[in-house]
């Protein structure tokens, strides 16, 4: 069978496979093309993920690669001399998978808080834990901040200009000056099982840190 006898889809598949093989043959010196607990910047991890996709394709790339990717809908921000990036990885090893040594993967989904300013990171099995670790690193004292009154934080408060203005006025009266800067958080009361820390929600562009009561 000549190349002219192949269906267009088969020819495209063969060309794509050839291109991947050519890319895989080129040396790679960046971040590992698999899960890693070592420190790399988000840009370095992003470049490694792009390389993995170029070699293996995009299908199930997050699951199969176990590599770090930016958390969905998270917008990185700065707070003073620190920066906050939130990354996620699939650390679960499929029982049929043999490309990872036993014990190399954490065994579940994981979250990484990453401060590029300090080349600091912290990895946790739960998102809130990673977020809190970053605040301990960048904004010590946040645990002592007063809780916003529930009368100010009814559902959708962060989407309404007047509500945000009222929250900001309350913060300016009750929060230390160091927590009025861009990237600073607020602490709000939540119902049980609704305590996820929400990024980019505070009037200063930082986190709304939930406290379940």
Domain C-terminal end among 116, 138, 160: 138
The pLDDT of residue 130 is above 90: yes
For the record, the structure tokens of 159 come out as: 């989407």
pLDDT band at 66 (very low <50, low <70, confident <90, very high): very high
| Residue with more model confidence, 79 or 98 | 79
- Say what the pLDDT of residue 41 is: 98
Q: Which domain holds residue 153?
A: 142-212
Q: Above 50 in pLDDT, residue 49?
A: yes
| Average pLDDT score over residue span 5-16 | 55
Distance of alpha carbon 209 from alpha carbon 147, whole angstroms = 9
Per residue in 169-207, pLDDT (tens digit) is 999 999 999 999 999 999 999 999 899 999 999 999 999
Residues 116 and 15 reside in one and the same domain:
yes
pLDDT of residue 10: 53
Total structural domains within the chain: 2
Same domain, 59 and 76: yes
Check whether 103 has a pLDDT greater than 60. Answer: no
> Do 127 and 158 share a domain, yes or no?
no
User: So what's the pLDDT on residue 98?
Assistant: 47
pTM for the full model?
Answer: 0.85
Structure tokens at 204: 């200063």
Among 138, 160, 194, the domain-final residue is 138
What pLDDT, on a 0 to 100 scale, did the predictor assign at position 115? Answer: 98
Among the candidates 113, 138, 163, a domain finishes at 138
Higher pLDDT, 210 or 9: 210
**Whether the Cβ atoms of residue 44 and residue 30 lie closer than 8 Å to each other:** yes
pLDDT given at position 25: 67
| Gyration radius of the chain over CA positions | 22
Over range 86-107, report the average pLDDT.
71
In the chain, at which residue ranges do the beta strands (DSSP E only) sit?
69-70, 77-79, 82-90, 109-115, 120-124, 147-148, 186-190, 208-212
The pLDDT of residue 35: 95
**Residues 204, 181 contacting (CB under 8 angstroms):** yes
Same domain, 196 and 155: yes
User: What is residue 108's predicted lDDT score, i.e. its pLDDT?
Assistant: 84
**Residue 20 shares a structural domain with residue 110:** yes
pLDDT for the residue numbered 127: 98
Q: Tell me: do 114 and 200 sit in the same domain.
A: no
Q: Does residue 131 sit in the same domain as residue 188?
A: no
- Please check whether residues 9 and 79 belong to one and the same domain: yes
Do 46 and 110 reside in the same domain of the chain?
yes
Q: How far apart are CA 123 and CA 88, in angstroms?
A: 9
């Amino acid at each position: 069978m000549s190349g002219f006898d192949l269906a267009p889809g088969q020819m495209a598949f063969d060309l794509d496979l050839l291109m991947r093989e050519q890319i895989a043959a080129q040396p790679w010196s960046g971040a590992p093309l698999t899960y890693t607990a070592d420190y790399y910047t988000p840009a370095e991890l992003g470049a490694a993920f792009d390389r993995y996709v170029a070699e293996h394709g995009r299908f199930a790339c997050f699951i199969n690669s176990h590599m770090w990717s930016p958390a969905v809908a998270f917008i990185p921000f700065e707070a003073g001399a620190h920066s906050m990036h939130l990354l996620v990885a699939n650390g679960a090893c499929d029982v049929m998978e043999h490309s990872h040594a036993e014990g190399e993967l954490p065994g579940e989904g994981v979250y990484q808080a990453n401060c590029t300013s300090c080349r600091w990171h912290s990895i946790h099995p739960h998102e809130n834990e990673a977020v809190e670790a970053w605040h301990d690193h960048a904004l010590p004292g946040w645990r002592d901040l007063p809780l916003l009154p529930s009368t100010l934080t009814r559902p959708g408060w962060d989407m309404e200009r007047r509500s945000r203005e009222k929250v900001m006025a309350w913060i300016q009266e009750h929060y230390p000056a160091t927590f009025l800067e861009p990237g600073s958080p607020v602490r709000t009361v939540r119902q049980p099982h609704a305590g996820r820390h929400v990024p980019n929600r505070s009037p200063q562009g930082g986190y709304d840190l939930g406290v379940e009561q």
